[in-house]
Structure 1
Amino acid sequence: MSWDLSISGNGDKGRWGGWAFVGLLSVVLCWLVIGRQDRKDGREIISNTPSWTEGTFVNYISFLVQKDPSFAKESLDEMIVNVATDSLMLYNILTWSEKYFFNPNSPFRNEDFFEVLLQRALTTPVLDTLQRERYRKLLLLMQKNSIGEYATDFDFTLNNNKRFSLYNIEAEFLILFFGNPACPACKEMTDRIARSEIILNLLERKINGKPLLKVLHLYTDSNIALWYEHMAHFPSKWLNAHDKTRYIKTRELYDLKALPTLYLLDKNKKVLLKDVPFDVLEAYLLQFLNFQ
């Protein structure tokens, strides 16, 4: 047996009536799952066919990500409420949610949605001690350096061994690029940023006598010799630095679950963009450039 839960329709909430349909789909996912009215049978089928029920969940979030964020968040919150006493269903939903909303390579990645789910899940009585502690730490890490907040300060060391702090950097915009020279994706990102005409343009400009843009390219791992070996490949106009203390990683000052990771900060070090693809960051800066 299989369902096709792909949704199509007209209007902001689809022809199925938006809230009513999503609420119904939440109940289907959380309680009936695959058409069985008996909860016990449903639980057994969940255990025996995890890939099928995961597919159902994917259809559900495929619908949600097309909707207004507040609408989607309320539906997700209601879904957790519906399974607040069912440890198996809650475990499955949180596992799938982490995979699709939190994994940096997921096409559905949305940390705001995952945060809603975790906040509600932590109020339920069925999480065991280890699960509760794990999700609590994950939530705290995810909430660090959120958009609109001041970025966490840290010290960094340049290749000339001079040491500065994040808040010492003066520029209208700052690209914070966490990378590793041994990481192929990081090398590709380095090349993309270095070739970007928009970035090159902004690096040459000044506003009120101060640089319009700077790039802080930061290595947070321990193999400093490897970092020095690749120094010739890093653009000389960037601030190429490493974290000598390794506090960024060991104290989890930033959420660096995957590299490369890009942030965009304003002149006051407020977070404008957090862990975004380069295309998004470049488009943001292009929009600023078009108004100059």
Structure 2
Amino acid sequence: MNRYELLIGLILLLASCRAKPGTAETRESVPANSTVIQTFPFPEIPTMLTQPEERKAYLMAHYWDNFNFADTALVNNRNVAEQGAADYLAILADGTLSGERIKGSLDSFCKGLEVQEHARKVFLQMMEDYLYNPNSPYHNEALYALFLERMLKSEYVDEARKSSLKFSLDLISRNSPGKRATDFVYFLPDGSKRSLAQTRAKNNRLLLVFYDPECPSCHETMQEMVADGLLAEAVKAEKLTVLAVYTEGNQEVWKRTLSDLPQGWTVGSDHETVKQGALYDLKAMPSLYLLDGSKKVLLKDAPYAKIREEIAAL
């Protein structure tokens, strides 16, 4: 049994055993002078629902029914609101719910949060942090896109915020797995230029690396890649092409750091074309894409560990 199965089982148990507010059981179980520890108010699942699938479907359809989005203290309580949201997203993304049920559950969630200004602000940021941040264990752009699509329909979200959400949604939709990677021009150290489409993908594989040598947060990943014997051997054996593209505007920095990268890599500078045109989503650097020979995206903005698994299988 994996972590998510355990999580779902625990939540279903809590939803089954939760005492109704105001009952004698609730009053008698909490001494008058004790501090009540708040937990997420899971919905009570009807006892007539006995099959795990139908109980789970009910849970996700009514997950937020008992959560008071108007209570700012509750919304700000990380042990309740944030933990409840984390559990919610884990179940929503576990692959067992139909697309229709996922959209229905998200719609119920958004109906609750959108009408309260504070809750709207908090949960919009929370969903971005959990689903859109590539370093989040809950990172899921497909789920975030569904959330954005629903919030863009909200009459409570102002046009300035909608413009920001629309920009994020547009970025997510670009260069998705299965789509052709957006073409762009880059310049080699000798001044000649080439496009992504013109770049040969040896063995039908190309690892596209957008990088910035002055980015402290991405330095560790770049060092790992440079020192990785598996990657070096794959490049030497022509199992794949590595194209590293500098996306910033300081050409002196780029040229000074060229020697830090392996000779077997193709290294270029796009003169900020990608960033200024928002051609790719560069929210975290380095940003790694695995492409095939026709430049179709196989992995988008993937962690190097995932890229490495693919390299090992070549």
1:269 to 295, 299, 309: 295
> What is aligned with 1:23?
61
The SS at the match of 1:25 is coil
The SS at the match of 1:18 is helix
Q: What is the aligned-residue identity percentage?
A: 27
**Post-superposition CA distance 1:11-37 (Å, at most 9, x none):** xx9588211112221323xxx33xxxx
CA distance 1:247–1:180, change in 2 (3 Å): same
> What is aligned with 1:151?
181
The SS at the match of 2:64 is helix
The SS at the match of 1:164 is strand
Paired residues for 1:164-243 under 5 Å = 164-171=194-201, 172-205=204-237, 211-243=238-270
> What is aligned with 2:89?
61
CA distance 1:165–1:19, change in 2 (3 Å): same
Give the drift of 1:57: 1.6
Q: Tell me which amino acid in the other structure corresponds to 1:27.
A: D
Give the drift of 1:4: 5.6
CA distance 1:170–1:44, change in 2 (3 Å): same
Give the drift of 1:90: 3.9
Give the drift of 1:169: 0.8
Q: Tell me which amino acid in the other structure corresponds to 2:135.
A: N
> What is aligned with 1:109?
139
**Post-superposition CA distance 1:75-130 (Å, at most 9, x none):** 54333453386243444332211111112221211111100101111122211111
2:38 equivalent to 1:2: yes
CA contact (8 A) 2:225 2:231 kept: yes
* Matches of 2:305 and 2:114, distance apart in 1: 42
CA contact (8 A) 1:265 1:272 kept: yes
CA contact (8 A) 2:74 2:81 kept: no
The SS at the match of 1:97 is helix
* Matches of 2:60 and 2:235, distance apart in 1: 47
Q: Tell me which amino acid in the other structure corresponds to 1:83.
A: G
**Post-superposition CA distance 1:234-264 (Å, at most 9, x none):** 10110111112x2111111110011111000
Give the drift of 1:162: 1.3
* Matches of 1:4 and 1:27, distance apart in 2: 11
What is the TM-score when the length of structure 1 is the normalising length?
0.81
TM-align CA RMSD: 2.6
CA contact (8 A) 1:84 1:125 kept: no
The runs of 5 or more residues in structure 1 that have no matched partner are 7-12, 34-41, 206-210
What is the TM-score when the length of structure 2 is the normalising length?
0.76
Larger radius of gyration: 2
> What is aligned with 1:248?
274
> What is aligned with 2:24?
none
**Post-superposition CA distance 1:201-236 (Å, at most 9, x none):** 32233xxxxx53111111111111111111111101
